[in-house]
Amino acid sequence: MAELSAHISQIQHGQLTESFPDNHLTNTNDNTERRRHESNDRRRNANPDSEANGQPQSRTVQMVDHDDDDEEELTLKYGAKHVIMLFVPVTLCMVVVVATIKSVSFYTRNDGQLIYTPFSEDTETVGQRALNSILNAAIMISVIIFMTILLVVLYKYRCYKVIHGWLIVSSLFLLFFFSFIYLGEVFKTYNVAMDYITVALMIWNFGVVGMICIHWKGPLRLQQAYLIMISALMALVFIKYLPEWTAWLILAVISVYDLIAVLCPKGPLRMLVETAQERNETLFPALIYSSTMIWLVNMAEQDPESQKRAPKSSTYDKQAKQNQNQNAETDDGGFSQEWEQQRDNRIGPLASTAETRAAVQALPSHSLASEDPEERGVKLGLGDFIFYSVLVGKASATASGDWNTTLACFVAILIGLCLTLLLLAIFKKALPALPISITFGLVFYFATDNLVQPFMDQLAFHQFYI
């Protein structure tokens, strides 16, 4: 249940410096320069606060107007780009799950239930089945809430090693054990003969490369492919071992919980995101799909235990820093005393006041213009991938076996994701990705399965074609 945190506001401010004409920043027009010099004394006498560090406030207002126009253009530009960035991986994950459900019978066969869903739905009455499904969903949601709070507590108290160990063990199970089961069932389905040594080598290479790409460094596309694959594997496990009514109820409740956890002031996911932003850290790449690189270099550098183990002093580094400071103090940067005198003669002496400092701080910051493009992008939690795929996979497995319901759920999820990104561009803060998509998916599933599909069957039976 991680959330979308596409930093559109940072992207916009990082691009504003490229869209301003030069005359708004430097004002090199000769006529304007002469007029400004002639009227400079009159402005200073009439309103001494009208200049902010040598720049008129009217120019600041003009720059702010241009900021608003460019922000709207960048919102549209990056909004469409982010939609494409998320549509592709979400579509690939759901396609892998649906293709597996349609071809491999192992994941549609009822071989048991999860330990978190102990109540069976094979009951004599509908009321008992509904009660069992409610109890299963309550237990499952309780486990999810407990694990989320535990993760937030560990992160708040900087227990990074415990979190890393937890995520590494989970990734090991997914990349080695579940991948071995998946590969074996695919080989059985397509009647492919394979010896255990070859399978072991394939799983070993697949798992080791995946662990390196997810928890350390690797090519961006390869990291994204592994995150999509482990999301699909986890979704297949839920599809196989969750009963039908329990699965639909869990999807409905988890979307409500995601809404509360992200938007409430004391929601666990909101606290997790705010804590990461306060520490200027990136969340764990094993939990979040990102359209850009996420490496935990900053987190490792800010770990207090690693700082304690680091050498306490380095004489060579200290001497180098002292030499740099001395050079910086002696260097005037080209602003000599003659230059300062000419400046004072042209525009008068400058003094730092509260008004000038406030005006300078109000100017748009250009420090983000040199931001690495890899830091920009949109992020979506792997939990969102998993539950999107569970909805589509369950629709494909438990419906009448038709493609109409599956495609309806697929389109509904993409529409909900698009609306979520639109709200993200408007509010510019972390938003839950499950509520809109899951709500649309459930409505489309039951409407298509109970209304559209019987209508289509009757048309086919009476040989009416539209």
Tell me which residues are annotated as active site.
258, 384
What is the four-CA torsion angle of 361, 364, 368, 369, rounded to 10 degrees?
Answer: -140
- What is residue 4's DSSP assignment? B
Query: Both ends of the chain: CA-CA distance in Å?
Result: 42
Reading the block at residue 93, the tokens are 């994950």
Q: How far is CA 218 from CA 18, 176, 211, 228, in A?
A: 31, 19, 10, 15
136 close to 118: Cβ distance less than 8 angstroms: yes
Is residue 296 within 8 Å of residue 39, measured between CB atoms? no
> Directed axis angle between helix 160-172 and helix 126-156, to 10°?
140
Structure tokens at 419: 């609306």
| Pairwise CA distance, residues 20 & 13, whole Å | 12
Q: Is 273 helix (H, G, I), strand (E, B) or coil?
A: helix
Residue with tokens 């961006």: 220
Exposed (0-12), middle (13-18) or buried (19+): which is 95, by Cβ within 10 Å?
middle
H or E segment and range at residue 379? strand 379-381
* Cβ(158)–Cβ(271) below 8 Å: no
